[in-house]
Structure 1
């Protein structure tokens, strides 16, 4: 049976700009840290997979001195873990408030997939508690229960490494040839492609303009009634208008199997 695997942040909802960034800055303020990330600065941090890893980029000798932090690596790691736990608490509160709407089409197509018996999963570099809060918010309790969640530090290397997708395929018994991934970033797309999976990309507000060469389909969103999708690149000629439907993903898997070398093999 086919499987549909979503990234979380930027795919299910535009959580990076409106959830993670304010949660990081609120946490920095609580701990008295001499840093506040602007929207532009956080966009650069997104090139690093994982919240703790993004914060670790701050730990220059100058920052450590200014913040009065210890220089011992073990103690710094404890600080990072404590900051990240608190940031996750703030973030899940933001999600629970309902202030961040789902991206168009994600719940609709997940419902179509569930009704057709497809497996559903989320694969993300974010903390598991953060990911589950978004899945429940976007999908609702009943549908969220259908999702396998792979998140956080369950793999040694985060996106763009393929580890999280390799784990998801292995743990769920999915066939790589029958998996469609939905991503919003180049790093996420590269992770899916390196795992041998078909990847549909729906750029988010932070990732518009990234290079998505290799995506099996590039659309503005999955689309909903009243907010139709804009097709940006359609190498398999799926013509997913006015919205991306499950039948388009079925066709994608079939066409991809017929052309294993990828879209570039097309005349």
Structure 2
């Protein structure tokens, strides 16, 4: 008869292992199967989800679980470092979508008198399409093009490009006024990586000017000088295609398997995994209910002490394949 296993969860960094009921942590042996940590494994006695911004933890949670569950233990400091730490922008660096990009799209539609408004729920659905120009094109193809839009295919592409250019200008004004803050822990993790000589890049489907404005204005010009940006139309196919992550690895001169990606959406996760990279998901307002079963780890945010969820050492630990019986 199978016996249960014990789950150890700390409020700091952790990794996951599947443990044979009769094994001890001291006698674990390597096996060629890797287990994924998601919030679904959290012991409710150790983690109580209040919202995407608030989690209450106890110093250590212990609970007996069925043998099919995963055994998680506090990760020891790792000497392994990623070759590159790659961040998505919107929803990862800043929770920009609802009160940033959506507002800027709507202001653009209003200025052009298109009679279009994207409410919160509709925009959440549209986010399943990577890229602002692609998002508008898909929406108009489905609902009908505005009366002021041209009829020819090439003219419509120019029309969409002009809308997106104005939307980007409005969005950048929000960023320059610092009306949208960095998410918790972003600056900390980037500083840890830069301090250890790890390549840092931002890989986004958003317009390059908008991403650069976020990095420069919110992360500081000093950090921005050390961060490579891959954004917008730098690749022909947007996420979930892996092209932007493969371009980043190639440009930085690193192996994709040595890269760790921080994403917030299912399409971003799909892009990172298709590129052969490790991927940590930090859920954002629009993505909390998406399917992240393929992620290497899932958190509500990166976090600063004393509310830190993970750090650079944890990112490195993902590269050290933890295979155990």
5+ residue gaps, structure 1: 229-241, 260-265
SS of aligned partner of 1:78: helix
1:27 aligns with 2:108: yes
2:167 paired with 1:87: yes
TM-score (norm 1): 0.88
Distance 1:111 1:3 in 2: 13
In terms of fraction of residues, the more helix-rich structure is 1
User: 1:122-137 residue pairs with structure 2 within 5 A?
Assistant: 122-137=202-217
CA shift for structure 1 position 61: 8.2
Choose from 156, 162, 176 the match for 1:76.
156
- 1:191-236 per-residue CA deviation (whole Å, 9 max, x = no partner) reads 000000000000100000100011111011111135x2xxxxxxxx
- C-alpha distance 169-32 of structure 1, shift in aligned 2 (>3 A): same
Report the CA distance between 1:137 and its aligned residue: 2.6
* Larger Rg, first or second structure (1 or 2): 2
Does the CA contact (< 8 Å) of 2:272 and 2:278 recur in 1? yes
Higher RCO, 1 or 2 (CA under 8 Å, sep at least 6)?
2
Matched positions, count? 244
Structure 2, unaligned runs of 5 or more: 1-81
Partner of 1:12: 93
Residue 232 of structure 2 aligns to a residue whose secondary structure is: coil
Task: Find the partner of 2:294 among 210, 214, 232.
Answer: 214
Residue 52 of structure 1 is matched in structure 2 by: 133
Pairing 1:67–2:147 present = yes
Q: How does 1:1-267 map to 2 (within 5 A)?
A: 2-60=83-141, 63-64=144-145, 66-226=146-306, 228=307, 242-255=308-321, 267=325
Is the Cα–Cα contact under 8 Å of residues 13 and 102 in structure 1 kept in the other structure? Answer: yes
Matched with 2:8 is none
Partner of 1:238: none
Secondary structure in structure 2 of the residue aligned to 1:108 = helix
> How many angstroms does 1:62 deviate by?
6.3
Confirm or deny: 8 A CA contact 1:186 1:212 kept in the other structure.
Answer: yes
Q: Give the SS at the match of 1:122.
A: strand
Q: TM-score, normalised by structure 2?
A: 0.72
